[in-house]
Amino acid sequence: MAQLSLTEADREAIADAISKAERTTSGEIVFSLADSCGEYRHASILGSLISTFLITFIYLLLPTSHTVSVLIWLQTVSLVLFYPVWRSLPLRRWLISSTELDLRTWHSAFIQFYSSGLYRTREHNGVLIHLCCFEKRAVVLGDKAVHEKVGNSKWDEVTDLIITGIRERNPRDGICRAIAACAEVLAGHFPARPDDRNELSNQVLPPLD
């Protein structure tokens, strides 16, 4: 999932799904995708230390003479070489606590929510679907009017649709089904209005710098 990428056709399908969904409600739906919600340098350092420990262990097992200078040189080189390797490995996610991954995902979603202008909709009934690939987590955030009527319980079903679609190697379908599910919830509380207008872009939002 950390390598998830959307083709131009996928992005167009998602934009079309949002456009279709918003015809049934006065609410606004925004979808954003982030490769990663953090640098997680500590995980890269820990991975480098683990790799260096293994290299040191192998060196000490070799049937040859061992010197302190060679050992120090080997450990230094290992740390320097393994750090960039671990930075590019999705495997380092296992060195990060679930709590931190959750917090980073939510923090990224809140920043995207305000950066996208969702909080400025006329009825305060915007919803953000935010997917973080490295963290393997999705978050749905509703503006205050949505939260007052829906709360958070409904959104777990929406995020499950996304994760299931990705696991089945069909992320586009999972995301589009999640958008439709959001629209169904919104339409029940915020039906379409004759004077409704599209207040925000339906395109997939790019990652924030």
Residues 131 and 60 occupy one common structural domain? no
Residues 83 and 164 occupy one common structural domain? no
Contact 108, 101 (CB under 8 A): no
Question: What is the residue range of 79's domain?
Answer: 41-95
Helix (H, G, I), strand (E, B) or coil at 74: helix
pTM score, two decimals?
A: 0.88
Question: Is the sign of the CA dihedral 35, 40, 45, 51 positive or negative?
Answer: negative
Residue type, 199: E
The two three-digit tokens of residue 77, written as one number: 């080189």
Residues 63 and 26 occupy one common structural domain? no
Domain holding 167: CATH number? 3.10.310.50
CB atoms within 10 A of CB 25: 23
Question: Is the sign of the CA dihedral 100, 103, 105, 209 positive or negative?
Answer: negative
Residues 89 and 135 occupy one common structural domain? no
What tens digit of pLDDT does each residue of 179-195 get?
999 999 999 999 999 88
Residue 114 domain flag: yes
Torsion of CA 29, 143, 160, 43, to 10 degrees: 110
- pLDDT value of position 187: 94
User: Structural domain tally of the chain?
Assistant: 2
Residues 104 and 19 occupy one common structural domain? yes
What tens digit of pLDDT does each residue of 61-120 get?
999 888 999 999 999 999 999 999 999 888 899 999 999 999 999 999 999 999 999 999
Residues 137 and 91 occupy one common structural domain? no
